[in-house]
């Protein structure tokens, strides 16, 4: 009489644990090699480059259409200066540059002693005809001492050079210490 042998095939618990450990080790090595934090920062910087170019193109298109320099809204116009820059805002209602709590922040760039609204440039006149909306910095949590990003403060700056009337648009908070600005 033939004997019946058990031929169940499968993996033992030890084999499964070894495979899971190898997969976990490979996943951790790939995660370190890819560096997701740097990739996210690169992505935000790419968006900033695009938005800086978009703002500058909107200003230059308006100047060509009007055959005149664009100075922003009369409540917070663009000031030609080589000393400091102005933060681009869509609403200057709460801005008072001499008051720390209402001054939009752009580290190391904004003239904090400017009176009135001299530290901000309201570019809301560009919206709808020349640009869909004024962009807001993609990080959206950059430190501010004044209006929060999205509450009028874009996180971008503008500077008009007095001798040439060239305009520079840049990012106040680029990641990885990058310098993101365009001048034409």
User: In terms of residue numbers, what domain contains 161?
Assistant: 34-183
**How do 181-183 and 167-171 pair as beta strands?**
antiparallel
Digits of tens for pLDDT over the chain (184 positions)?
667 666 677 889 999 999 999 999 999 999 888 899 999 999 999 999 999 999 999 999 999 999 999 999 998 899 888 777 888 988 888 777 777 666 677 766 666 556 678 888 999 999 999 999 999 999 866 555 555 555 678 889 999 999 999 999 999 889 998 999 999 9
- Is 3 part of a structural domain of the chain? no
Q: For residue 60, what pLDDT is reported?
A: 97
Contact 107, 113 (CB under 8 A): no
The residue among 145, 133, 136, 138 whose CA lies nearest residue 45 is: 138
- Is 23 part of a structural domain of the chain? no
At how many degrees (to 10) do helices 13-34 and 36-66 cross? 30
- Is 46 part of a structural domain of the chain? yes
Contact 162, 81 (CB under 8 A): yes
**First-to-last CA distance in the chain?**
96
Q: For residue 93, what pLDDT is reported?
A: 81
Q: For residue 170, what pLDDT is reported?
A: 94
Q: For residue 143, what pLDDT is reported?
A: 53
Q: For residue 8, what pLDDT is reported?
A: 72
Helix or strand run (H / E) with residue 87? strand 86-89
Question: Rounded to whole angstroms, how far apart are CA atoms 19 and 67?
Answer: 70
- Is 66 part of a structural domain of the chain? yes
- Is 102 part of a structural domain of the chain? yes
Split into its structural domains, the chain has a count of 1
- Is 28 part of a structural domain of the chain? no
- Is 51 part of a structural domain of the chain? yes
Q: Please give the distance of CA 149 from its chain centroid, rounded to a whole number.
A: 10
The residue among 85, 148, 102, 156 whose CA lies nearest residue 126 is: 156
- Is 154 part of a structural domain of the chain? yes
Q: For residue 180, what pLDDT is reported?
A: 95
């Amino acid at each position: 009489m033939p004997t019946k042998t058990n031929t169940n095939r499968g993996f033992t618990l030890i084999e499964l644990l070894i495979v899971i450990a190898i997969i976990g080790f490979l996943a951790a090595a790939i995660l370190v090699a890819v560096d997701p934090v740097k990739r996210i920062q690169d992505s935000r910087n790419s968006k900033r480059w695009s938005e800086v170019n978009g703002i500058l193109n909107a200003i230059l298109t308006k100047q060509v259409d009007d055959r005149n320099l664009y100075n922003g809204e009369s409540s917070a116009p663009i000031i030609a200066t080589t000393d400091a820059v102005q933060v681009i805002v869509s609403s200057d209602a709460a801005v008072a540059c001499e008051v720390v709590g209402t001054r939009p922040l752009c580290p190391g760039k904004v003239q904090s002693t400017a009176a009135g609204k001299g530290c901000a440039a309201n570019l809301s006149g560009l919206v709808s005809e020349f640009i869909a909306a004024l962009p807001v910095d993609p990080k959206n949590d950059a430190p501010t001492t004044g209006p929060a990003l999205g509450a009028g403060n874009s996180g971008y700056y503008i500077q008009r050079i007095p001798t040439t009337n060239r305009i520079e648009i840049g990012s106040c908070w680029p990641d990885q210490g990058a310098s993101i600005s365009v001048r034409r």
